[in-house]
Chain A
Amino acid sequence: MPLLKLVNVSKVYQMDGVSVTALDRDDFEVESGEFVAIMGPSGSGKSTLMHLAGCLDTPSSGKIIFNNRNVSNLNETELANIRSREIGFVFQSFNLIPRMTAVDNVSLPLIYVGMKMKIRKEKALAALERVGLKDRINHFPNQLSGGEQQRVAIARALVNNPRVIMADEPTGNLDTKSGQEIMAIFTSLNQKGITIVMVTHEGEIAAFAKRIVRVRDGKIISDSPTT
């Protein structure tokens, strides 16, 4: 049984009265422990695919099975509940809260599972240690470099021990060197068994994954392992 399974999934947006088909009857599976890169030009539907896979959104039609559970028709609160316990997110622009320190940013997801502050802090420190930021825990985002900020964001994605990390263009706002560092972290996390689904349009970055899925005009056009 795959960790994640999308069956004949479509997503249609209404924009100013015009229907835009972002995804058109696609099938997509992710096994536990995989490192998948979703590639495609902008507007191809690759982000939509990741949002659906990450339980941030529900499909217009089709079925999504996440960890043996049909999540296609869940409401916002139920989806939030799954995200808070089973999925970690990393975004292109880091999305750290500027007035909070690194450790507070990392422990943020744990607030929503009702964890006590002391335990949250312990877990956040452990997660920061995993991304090599043990000495930056009380820094504010504006005191950190881009690469460090993204590492904080990865720590935040790790803190709830998710089944899968969804990364949306994680190196998009970084210089090449920092990008390579981030990818090294992802690779090592994957080697320790964490499933990663990553959206990118850079072939060089996608090359870190074990499998590449290409999307164009809302359709998955290829799905193959990297060599």
Chain B
Amino acid sequence: MIELSETIKIAFSALKANKTRSFLTMLGIVIGVSSVILLLSIGTGLKNYITKQLSELGSNTVFVMPGNIGLGSDGGNTGSTPGAGAALPKFTERHLSKLKSKAKTIKYIMPYIESNASLKYQSKTHITQLSGVGSEYPEIRNQNVIEGSFFTPSQERSSKRVVILGTKAAEELFGNQDPIGKKITISDQRYTVIGVLEEKGGFAGVSYDDLAFAPWTTVMDLNELEYIQSFWIVSESAETVSETKQEIEDILLEDFEKEDFSVLDTKSLLDTISSILSVLTAALGGIAAISLLVGGIGIMNIMLVSVTERTREIGLRKAVGAPPRAILIQFIAEAVIFSVCGGLIGIIIGVLGSLAINYFIQTTIAPWAIILSFGVSSLVGIIFGVAPAAKAARLDPITALRYE
């Protein structure tokens, strides 16, 4: 029996004899492994990021949205998207007070209204998202006010024209100046900046700090809205979330049909989003894995060529005493070296690539992705190496020796 180190040495010397060819053959596996790692890192990174964002909301947050979104455990498929033609529920202040008074497990509730606004300060104009929220927003979102203060419940009730800015929006408008107390203009109306929120970071070029907040009552006036878009609710605790959801549903069912609105909690949102992202990640990884397969076919192709080219060498080795098994192992070893070296280079490129992309969007290098892609690539080498190796092992020494 030949030692393994010996077999590997022989295989390496054979591959070194054809450097360009060996490199190109390996390239298929390199590309396969590195793209599997890259795509899985991006997918995992995206999932981790969204999970982190949602979990910052706290597991006891509940959203009431128009339309039947039907996510996760709420059952049903993704139905009509909100605002997709169907008659939307007309949430009003009446429903807000009804929910406030009737639902026993609600800790905070606030309407949430999204709109875009053009903020003007002196000669500067900045277009950003202006969200209409309640005075409980900092508690619900777990975001502190770093300068000035948030608006009060009484300012909320009286539709005061006050805004709170994210750090990025504040910087855009005021540069190094202190924004507190400054007057800005939104749709020809004068607003006072009363606070700046702490920094939240961003993702894929979208900043969570380039935002402005005003009392929801003010935003509804500004946009001449009749109805409230959605509610953000915080349940007393994580344990009471399902109870809260039930209460809200019961209360709203008095005025609306079941399919008119959706009551979602962070967990079901999280479950749905992460399952979507998992499928997406797996699909991307799967597509990348196809290139591994192609790489494997490349190895098999080159091994078949190599067996033919080296027919006389095989004949000679057999004549001087190599049993078929030794020939089989030698050629499988060559194929495996292609795939293992390609795999290792692919891991290096994949990891470096993921680290580079991390500057733009969050990537998470999953160890299992490395192990998986390396394992698959090695396996590819063995599988695609077997047929050419078996062909070599079966050669008749006399015929092989005479091969021209």
Contact = CB atoms under 8 A, between A and B. Distances in A.
Given A84-B322, A99-B17, A117-B6, 14 more contacts: A56-B319, A76-B324, A77-B323, A81-B323, A95-B312, A95-B315, A99-B16, A100-B13, A108-B316, A111-B10, A112-B317, A112-B321, A112-B322, A114-B2
Interface in B296-325: 312-313, 315-325
B118 to A, nearest CB: 73
A109 B321 contact: yes
A7 interface: no
A38 to B, nearest CB: 16
B95 to A, nearest CB: 83
B315 A80 contact: no
Interface in B322-345: 322-326
B321 A84 contact: yes
Interface of B: 1-3, 6, 10, 13-14, 16-17, 312-313, 315-326, 397-398, 401
A111 B316 contact: no
A156 B320 contact: yes
B220 to A, nearest CB: 82
B322 A91 contact: no
Contacts of B13: 99-100
Find the residue from B321, B324, B398, B401 having the highest chain A CB count within 10 A. B321
Interface of A: 51, 56-57, 76-77, 80-81, 83-85, 89, 91, 95, 97, 99-100, 108-109, 111-114, 117, 156, 160
Contacts of B14: 99
B320 to A, nearest CB: 4
Contacts of A114: 1-3
A99 B10 CA distance: 11
A61 B323 CA distance: 24
Contacts of A109: 320-321
Given A95-B401, A100-B13, A80 B316 contact: no
Contacts of A83: 319-321
Find the residue from A77, A80, A113 having the highest chain B CB count within 10 A. A80
The 5 closest A-B pairs by CB, nearest first: A84-B321, A109-B320, A77-B323, A99-B17, A112-B321
B398 A84 contact: no
Contact of A80 (B17, B321, B398, B401): B321
